[in-house]
A and B are shown apart, each in its own frame.
Chain A
Amino acid sequence: MSEELHEVRLSVNGVVHELRVPARRLLSDALRHDLGLTGTHVGCEHGVCGACTVLVDRRPMRSCLMFAVSAVGSEITTVEGLTEQDGSPEGRLGPVQQAFAECHGLQCGFCTPGFLTTITAGLRDNPDPSEDEAREMVAGNLCRCTGYVNIVKSVLRASEIARERR
């Protein structure tokens, strides 16, 4: 017996995709394997590590804890959607991405997309965080490489870059 498939329209990074998925297909799997947006990573599949965090209607969500069919009607932003248009084919790094590059905020890069999306949303709510607030902002994401020191620095630097670019 084959699984029942549902027609789903997903709006991701401003592009509308139509796909047919079973009801149980996770949003993370739909993004990665159906849409080929492999920048979103899956680290635990139980919502703890935060690597799969995407923005759903501008709010950070664990895409491993959401079904693709539940994302219909929402605007999803993944790490691929964080770059800014500057006329170049690849676009320029957004403030959070740029800050991570400057501050060595990443090593293996696997958890990074979840941090980037989380911080992007965090800085919208609090554009000028204190160091303690910066730590709080990333306190729900796991990283095994960096020891977080440079990630906290990156949050503060991202806030500066966003200000400079405004």
Chain B
Amino acid sequence: MTTKLFGEKVPRVEDQRFLRGKGRYVDDVLVGHDLLHAAVLRSPHAHARIVDIDVSGVLDVDGVHVVWTHDDLAGAMADPLPLLIPHPQLTHGRTQYALAKDEVNYVGEAIAFVVADDRYLAEDALGRIRVDYEFLPPVVGVESARAAEHLVHDDVPGNVAARLEQENGDARGAIAAAPHTLSLDLTIERSASTPMEGRGTVARWDPDTGRLTVWTSTQTSTGVRAAVAAKLGLDLAQVDVITPDVGGGFGVKINHPWPEELLVPLAARTLGRPVKFTEDRREHFISSAHERGQVHHVEVGYDDDGRVLGLDVRFWHDNGAYTPYGLIVPIITSTQLLGPYKPGAYRVVFESLYTNTVMVTPYRGAGRPQGCFVMERTMDAIAAALGKDRTEVRAANFIQPDEFPYDHGLVFQDGRELEYDSGDYPGSLEKLKALIGWDEFPVFREEMEREGRRVGIGLACYVEGTGVGPYEGAHVHVETSGKVKVATGLTTQGQGHATAFAQIVADALGVRFDRVEVVTGDTRRMPYAVGTFASRAAVMSGSAVHLAALRAREKVLKIAADALEAAEDDLEIVDGVVSVRGTPDGTASIDLGTVAVLSNPLRYAFDEASKAATQFSVGDPGKPPVAEDDEPGLEGKDFYSPERSTFANGMHAVIVETDAETAEIRILKYAVVHDCGRLINPMIVEGQIHGGVAQGVGGALLERMAYDESGQLVNASFMDFLMPYVTEVPAHIDIDHLETPSPLNPLGVKGAGEAGVIPSAAVFASAIEDAEASYHPGLAITAMPISPSDLFALRQRHEESS
């Protein structure tokens, strides 16, 4: 047998080109060609009516080719951008226009579009556009949106885009009858994906073939393709969308089409020359998307053991100025809040509110970090009220390993039941306690106290629905050279799909890993696909690639059996050679390249492989060369479409030190127990965890979108928006894996991409509160992120009030 690659730390094939500077990111495409460059005039005001736009004089700038405002757009291009994910409860969904029509609703909203010989000239031209605004009062933050003294959209009463309620059991009744009750008010602020590469789009129109090629830094090529075709009035078959190497996505690049993803192709077609738009960093801050901002009110009733009898959560979700991505984020918060626990009864109500700020679409974790923060703060509060160990209260509420599949009686983000497939939460907790040294911590704390240092420990647990549908597909093609070309439609932004999927194909087909080449996100190679989000690539495309490779294998065995005059069951494929099991090497064998030749009845021998094929007599001379139920070519194609999501889970623990004077927060130890089912490539999974934890540290301790009351994002640069450097993240992360296979897919895998970031706010709040507990008894951390200044202020307020 060929060595099995599934589960091995196979080095990544994509690294060779990245390390040599040979990656091809969107801004690298068509360099050296006859390219034009686009720039966008963006609103400097959070809320204003556009009275007039004067573009006279813009085209006088040498090298400027086009200046467009909404008035220049026609047909579908002049309509609002699509509301991608409608929902019956999204009663007041609103989306922006490709270029603002009459009104702007956030600083950064696109107003005018210029194409010039280079970006410098395009930006010069923007400076010549004069816009008259009539200012409207801005709505900034959840409080202001709820107060609704002013409206973001005139026709949206109360600024409420949607109200959604779900209940399983009688939560309020259960709370009223419970021996103990608590209520909490909790807040999480805005952050954002902030990939190192911003958005970007290049388009080329070929007048000879009437085809448009679009390269875009997206998480869904097929989505962009459909949107571009619809908006430009082209047939789908006229549009190819290629996702080149992507410099990180983390959610923000799933939203589509961005205004520029439509305007750039339109300009390329109009001007007959290729056009490129590359977003700069400030633009990314003010004109892409943010996430996280929510305010929660929790009522909980529980018994003497800390078991939750009833949980009633109301929350308000800041969706920014528009809702192109529907209610996905708050729905995920409202359902995934439950984590590994089974409350007796649960009710959740949320309102999704408009504000005059950048719109909100999923950022890694997609609403889960907020839900986890709320649930885990509740668990900590119950433990504190009962004087119990925080791990005991959690253990009392866990769904047990013999209770799977576990149905929460709620509807998940994909419209399917919130039904967990597998997991072992008590097992995970035991591993986590050992890894962080939970039971030994009191001794450590005493030691530290003797040195005058305050330390605290915290933990947080989460469950993550991963691998949502509806489907992904894959195509596996064995060439006559024996090389295996694999295509799957979803995109890649750093997850190493070219490696992980090649591992799966190499195993399924019996070929050497280095003979397999994987392409993702190219609609020419796989026109049916969904996208890379919700930790779904390994589950969805991993499974599809596996199934497609098995299809190709079936065909290999059928043809080889004919050629070798053997039964299919007697054949094996090792290192790309099919042979009859148990025969000496070289006898009765045929390599995959030759099988590929045989699969396609050619008349002409044009290379060594086809010459070799002529020595075999294939098929029955009495029948057609290609049988009725067969096709020429050695290919396999298949799709994977699961009934519902698979649920990964994990737990994090951290030991922090808080400085008695400066309130500085230092991370002393960080531990992760993670269960994403079977691991395809543990090196890649651990890399995902490291990155998630770092982003989580950013979200918990550093990153916030600082809007002032007029709706200006005052920290829209890397100077002011604090993303973690190496100096802010844990030097070491202790990781332990549990592998509870998913019964829902052929590989037993669950998603891993987002996990690392989900429990961060919760785990740091827990640990920091614990560090402060002996010095400021009862000091509660209810808002994240928390900076040293925030903690300092909390201490002061606590001292004043006690």
Contacts and interface: CB of A to CB of B under 8 A. Distances in A.
Contacts of A36: 31-32
Given A104-B12, A107-B496, A142-B196, A39 B22 contact: yes
A46 B32 CA distance: 25
B802 interface: no
A113 interface: yes
Interface of B: 11-12, 14-16, 18-25, 27-28, 31-32, 62-63, 118-120, 194-197, 245-248, 250, 280-281, 493-496, 683-684, 686-687, 689-695, 717-719, 723, 725-727, 729-733, 756
A22 B194 CA distance: 31
11 contacts: A32-B28, A43-B281, A78-B21, A80-B20, A104-B687, A108-B195, A113-B21, A142-B718, A144-B695, A146-B690, A152-B731
Interface core residue of A25, A97, A102 (most chain B CB under 10 Å): A97
B196 to A, nearest CB: 4
B18 A135 contact: no
Given A33-B118, A49-B196, A104-B687, 18 more contacts: A36-B31, A38-B25, A39-B23, A41-B197, A46-B281, A46-B718, A46-B719, A80-B22, A83-B20, A97-B19, A101-B15, A109-B23, A139-B725, A139-B726, A144-B196, A146-B694, A147-B693, A149-B729
A93 B494 contact: no
A55 interface: no
B195 A144 contact: yes
B245 A109 contact: yes
A116 B683 CA distance: 21
Contact of A146 (B245, B247, B493, B691): B691
A149 to B, nearest CB: 5
B692 A147 contact: yes
Contact of B726 (A25, A41, A151): A151
Contact of B21 (A38, A102, A138, A140): A38
A150 interface: yes
Contacts of B729: 147-149
A112 B17 CA distance: 11
A138 B726 CA distance: 7
Given A48-B719, A135-B727, A144-B723, A79 B20 contact: yes
Contact of B248 (A2, A24, A108, A135): A108
Contact of A147 (B120, B247, B690): B690
Interface string A130-148: 0100010011111111111
Interface in A12-28: 22, 24-25
Contact of B196 (A25, A29, A90, A108): A108
A8 interface: no
Nearest to A113: B21
A10 interface: no
A104 B494 CA distance: 11
Contacts of B756: 147
A109 B247 contact: yes
Contacts of B493: 108
A147 B725 contact: no
Nearest to B24: A38
Nearest to A140: B725
A17 to B, nearest CB: 13
Contacts of B718: 43-44, 46, 48-49, 142
A33 to B, nearest CB: 6
Interface core residue of A40, A42, A116, A138 (most chain B CB under 10 Å): A42
Given A32-B31, A109-B14, A147-B691, A80 B727 contact: no
A14 B342 CA distance: 65
B91 to A, nearest CB: 36
B19 A150 contact: no
B21 A45 contact: no
Contact of B120 (A22, A38, A46, A113): A22
Interface string A91-134: 00100010011101011111111001000000000000001000
Contact of B732 (A79, A138, A149): A149
Contacts of A151: 726
Contacts of B20: 39, 79-80, 83, 90, 93, 97
Contacts of A82: 21
Contacts of A143: 196
A33 B691 contact: no
Contact of A107 (B19, B22, B494, B730): B494
Contacts of A25: 120
Contacts of A42: 27
Interface core residue of A109, A146, A152 (most chain B CB under 10 Å): A109
Given A1-B62, A139-B725, A144-B723, A110 B25 contact: yes
A32 B495 CA distance: 25
Nearest to A46: B717
A117 to B, nearest CB: 10
Contacts of B726: 135, 138-139, 141, 148, 151-152
Contacts of A102: 11
A51 interface: yes
A104 B683 contact: yes
A22 B693 CA distance: 44
Contacts of B730: 149
A84 B449 CA distance: 53
B714 to A, nearest CB: 15
A4 to B, nearest CB: 12
Given A33-B31, A41-B197, A49-B196, A145 B248 contact: yes
Nearest to B29: A38
Nearest to A40: B21
A69 to B, nearest CB: 14
A111 B770 CA distance: 36
Contacts of A1: 62
A116 B717 contact: no
A80 B21 contact: yes
A31 B373 CA distance: 45
A37 interface: yes
A110 B247 contact: yes
Contacts of B14: 109
Nearest to B37: A33
Contacts of A131: 731
Contacts of A150: 687, 690
Q: Lowest 4 CB-CB distances: which A-B pairs, in order?
A: A39-B21, A110-B247, A108-B494, A109-B18
A38 B729 CA distance: 30
A141 B694 contact: no
Nearest to B21: A39
Interface string A65-93: 00000000000001110110000001001
A110 to B, nearest CB: 3
Interface core residue of A82, A138, A147 (most chain B CB under 10 Å): A147
B196 A51 contact: yes
A9 to B, nearest CB: 19
Interface core residue of B197, B684, B726 (most chain A CB under 10 Å): B726
Contacts of B246: 108
Given A44-B717, A110-B248, A38 B31 contact: yes
A90 to B, nearest CB: 7
